[in-house]
A and B are shown apart, each in its own frame.
Chain A
Amino acid sequence: MKKMSATRLIVSLAVVALLYAAAWWAETALGTNSMLITVLKKGAVYALIAVSMNLLNGFTGLFSLGQAGFMLVGAYVYAVFTIPLKRHAAVYQYYNGGIIQFELPLLVALILAGVVAALLAALVGLPVLRLKSDYLAIATLGFAEIIRAVVQWDSLGPITNGSNLLKTYPTFASTKILGTTVLFPMIVAGVCIGLILLIINSTYGRAFKAIRDDEVAAEAMGINLFKHKELAFVISCFFAGIGGALLAMFQGTVQANSFKSAMTYDILLMVVIGGMGSISGSVIASYLYIACSEWWLRFLDNEQFIGSFQVPLLRSGFRMVAFSAVIMVVVLFFRRGIMGDRELWNLRLPGRKKAGRAKQ
Chain B
Amino acid sequence: MSENVLRLENITMQFGGVVAINDLSMRIDEGEIVALIGPNGAGKTTAFNCVTGVYEPTNGAVYFHGKPIAANHPRGKMKRMYAGSDPEKFLNMQTSMTADRITKLGIARTFQNIRLFKSQTAFENVLIATHMRRTSNIFTAAFGLNYKEEKRNREKAMDLLRIVGLEDVADEKATSLPYGKQRRLEIARALATEPSLLLLDEPAAGMNPQETLDLGAFIQQIKRDFNLTVFVIEHHMDLVMGISDRIYVIEFGKLIAEGTPEEIQNNQAVIDAYLGGNDE
Contact = CB atoms under 8 A, between A and B. Distances in A.
Interface of A: 1-2, 195, 198-199, 202-204, 206-207, 209-210, 212-214, 216-225, 231, 235, 277, 341, 354, 357-360
Interface stretch (B153-161, B205-213, B226-234): B153-161
Contacts of B79: none
Nearest to A213: B117
30 contacts: A198-B144, A199-B142, A202-B136, A203-B150, A204-B131, A204-B141, A210-B131, A212-B119, A213-B116, A213-B118, A214-B116, A216-B54, A216-B99, A216-B115, A217-B115, A217-B116, A217-B117, A218-B117, A220-B54, A221-B108, A221-B129, A223-B131, A224-B101, A231-B138, A341-B119, A357-B170, A358-B123, A358-B170, A359-B154, A360-B154
Which one of A1, A220, A341, A358 has the highest number of Cβ atoms from chain B below 10 Å of its Cβ? Answer: A220
B142 A195 contact: yes
B120 A210 contact: yes
Interface string B120-140: 110110011111111010100
Contacts of B143: 198
Nearest to A360: B154
A222 B115 contact: no
A207 B124 CA distance: 10
Contacts of A217: 111, 115-117
Given A209-B119, A220-B54, 16 more contacts: A2-B171, A202-B142, A203-B141, A203-B153, A204-B141, A209-B128, A214-B118, A216-B111, A219-B99, A219-B103, A220-B108, A221-B108, A222-B132, A358-B123, A358-B154, A359-B154
Contacts of B189: 221
Residue among B127, B128, B189 with max Cβ neighbours from chain A (10 Å):
B128
Given A213-B120, A214-B117, A357-B171, A220 B52 contact: yes
A221 B128 contact: yes
A202 B117 contact: no
B151 interface: yes
Nearest to B52: A220
B4 interface: no
Given A213-B117, A222-B193, A206 B127 contact: yes
Contacts of B170: 357-359
Contacts of A231: 138
Interface of B: 52-54, 98-101, 103-104, 108-109, 111, 115-121, 123-124, 127-134, 136, 138, 141-144, 146, 150-151, 153-155, 158, 170-171, 189-190, 192-193
A211 B141 CA distance: 18
Given A213-B117, A221-B193, A198 B142 contact: yes
A234 to B, nearest CB: 10
Contact of B104 (A1, A2, A212, A222): A222
B98 A214 contact: no
A225 B146 CA distance: 22
Contacts of A277: 119
B195 to A, nearest CB: 10
Contacts of A2: 171
Nearest to A235: B138
Contacts of B130: 203
Contacts of A198: 142-144
